[in-house]
Structure 1
Amino acid sequence: MNITEAVNMILERYPDQGYDAFIDLNKIKDDDLQEAVRFIKSMRGPRHVELSHAEKAERENFKKMIEKGYTYRTIARETGLAERTVKRKVSDYGFKKLYYQTRPHGIRAGVPMICININTGEQKVIESIGKAEKAFNFKRGYLGDKTKDRRFYVYGGWVFRRAN
């Protein structure tokens, strides 16, 4: 028996229902159609797969880490997974929206900024890039882009560089 024969057998018996009969094959109780019903059921994949205990625990662990404000890199370090895998799993678990709600302005880890005045030698250590941008009236993300990859940025008599 092939799929066409099985479908045609059921449609001959239930012509007015069409494919609605296939939604719940358990409703078909005719003995002569049971072979066709079993064949179609074997062709279908599982509709819902229960998560294992380990998968449920991992899902909850990811959710707790995101709610605590962990970055993708920190989650990867804690779980031992690659950062790309963490991003994919966060998306697969449906936590991507939650992640961006807890981090509305992107990932800005507490990277201290060292600001040195060229003329006076005054040195300020500001606790994060975002606060340094506000203190020196840069637009959001500007200073972070200028100082990434261990670069320094000179502007208005000041030298900006990341502390670590």
Structure 2
Amino acid sequence: MYKDCTGYCNMTACNSDTMLAAEKFLTGIAYTQESCFTCKFGEKDDGSVFGNQFCADEPDKLDYASQKCALYNNLGCYTGTNAHYTNEGLSVEEVYKGCSAFEIPMNDEFGLCGIIYSDENPESDGYEVGACKQFCNDGPDCNKGHVRPCIHEGGNDCPQGGQDGSSAMAITSSLVAIIVSMIL
């Protein structure tokens, strides 16, 4: 998913008003998301971390994690998560939260989860990367918790719903869109 807009002007410095571009993202819906938890946390294979560990399930413990949603990304809140096991059998995970420029239909509270990569080479240990995306627009800061992706190496940590392996491509594209919207 993506949103794109263009405009044209031919006077000196006529493109300095960024609100003109942002207003093109207005959807005409009555509801707009007031605020979302906006943070990130990740573990790397080498044991290092980035962001804050409270982002995953307790972002309300972070100063300034609740952010007002901008005009161009106020349709709801998102949580994007990915996880895999390292060669040493340790689970590593990344969690991203923020305001969403897109409304993403959810089947249930578990969101859309699936395996987005699986190394099924019989000579390897079988490496999987799981991802989940969640969307909400039922009140300020509705993206407090997160669902851990279902990855099978090292144990079964799947949620009791929301597992749809056929949605792996949609999850991958949406995670890219989520990360791009965080950068903007």
- What's the TM-score, normalizing by structure 2? 0.21
**Of the two, which has the highest radius of gyration?**
1
- What's the TM-score, normalizing by structure 1? 0.22
Structure showing the higher strand proportion among its residues: 2
- The answer to which structure, 1 or 2, has the higher relative contact order (CA under 8 A, 6+ apart) is 2
